Chain A
Amino acid sequence: GDSVTQMEGPVTLSEEAFLTINCTYTATGYPSLFWYVQYPGEGLQLLLKATKADDKGSNKGFEATYRKETTSFHLEKGSVQVSDSAVYFCALSDRWSGGSNYKLTFGKGTLLTVNP
């Protein structure tokens, strides 16, 4: 079945540091890939997505590139801010999983804390 593996946290960085959160996946079909962010006490917000190989999703300074050859979708940001402190989820939706209503499969989440 489909699965998503992302680096375990927590990750603690100083402001303006470089961020990488690794994410790899397994899927039976040809998935779309997502990064979601969850701020304390809130639901999930879509951060970025990519729907085909070599696509780069980007938003708010965050980037991730869909790498089919390495089945990866690592999240990066060049200079993090205190306001980026949140939990980040990598997810996939396998459009070919047939009958599953294109549900999202999530990684376990990575807690990021950015200190001033």
Chain B
Amino acid sequence: GAVVSQHPSRVICKSGTSVKIECRSLDFQATTMFWYRQFPKQSLMLMATSNEGSKATYEQGVEKDKFLINHASLTLSTLTVTSAHPEDSSFYICSASEGAGYGYTFGSGTRLTVV
């Protein structure tokens, strides 16, 4: 079945630094990738949707300059949290899809802690 690899699984960084999270589709071409942030008590918030080769579409309230998303190839998307602050600490999850009707495959998530 479809597999999405997300790295790193855990990262601790200092306040003010940037962190990059990678999401790779291992056995299919992901035309669309989605980035979510999961808050305490489970709720998932869609941050942005990215299509290969074009700019990401951000959800309302998500800072584009803070959460940089790149989808340069059909198998790789990256989320960079720039100038991280403690309030950015969260669980970030990516999801990839080959297209409408193909379903969604999720990465295993990245636990970001900003100290």
What is the interface of chain A, defined by CB distance below 8 A to chain B? Answer: 36, 38, 41-46, 49, 87, 89, 93, 95, 100-104, 106, 108-109, 111
A38–B44 Cα gap in the complex (Å)?
A: 11
Q: How close is B100's CB to chain A, nearest CB, in angstroms?
A: 5
Report which residue of A38, A100, A103 has the largest number of chain B beta carbons within 10 angstroms of its beta carbon: A103
* B57 lies within 8 A of chain A by Cβ: yes
Among residues of A, the one whose C-beta sits closest to the C-beta of B10 is A41
* B19 lies within 8 A of chain A by Cβ: no
Contact check, A104 vs B34: say whether CB atoms are below 8 A apart.
Answer: yes
A108–B32 Cα gap in the complex (Å)?
A: 23
15 A-B pairs in the complex with CB atoms less than 8 angstroms apart: A36-B106, A41-B111, A43-B6, A49-B103, A89-B42, A89-B44, A93-B104, A101-B49, A101-B57, A102-B32, A102-B97, A103-B34, A104-B104, A108-B42, A109-B41
A89–B95 Cα gap in the complex (Å)?
A: 15
Closest 6 CB pairs between A and B? Answer: A109-B42, A44-B106, A43-B106, A43-B108, A43-B109, A108-B43
**Would you call the interface of chain B mostly helix, strand, loop, or mixed?**
strand
Given contacts A42-B108, A45-B106, A104-B104, contact A87 B95 (CB under 8 A): no
Give the A-B contact count at a CB cut-off of 8 A: 52
Contact check, A103 vs B46: say whether CB atoms are below 8 A apart.
Answer: yes
Count, chain B residues at interface, CB 8 A: 24
Give every chain B residue within 8 A of A109 (Cβ-Cβ).
41-44
A78–B45 Cα gap in the complex (Å)?
A: 31
Among residues of B, the one whose C-beta sits closest to the C-beta of A99 is B57
Q: How close is A33's CB to chain B, nearest CB, in angstroms?
A: 12
A111–B44 Cα gap in the complex (Å)?
A: 14
Q: How close is B69's CB to chain A, nearest CB, in angstroms?
A: 13
Among residues of B, the one whose C-beta sits closest to the C-beta of A95 is B100
* B51 lies within 8 A of chain A by Cβ: yes
Given contacts A43-B6, A44-B93, contact A102 B100 (CB under 8 A): yes
- Residues 34-48 of B at the A interface (beta carbon under 8 Å): 34, 41-44, 46
Give every chain B residue within 8 A of A95 (Cβ-Cβ).
100
Contact check, B32 vs A101: say whether CB atoms are below 8 A apart.
Answer: yes
Contact check, B93 vs A43: say whether CB atoms are below 8 A apart.
Answer: yes
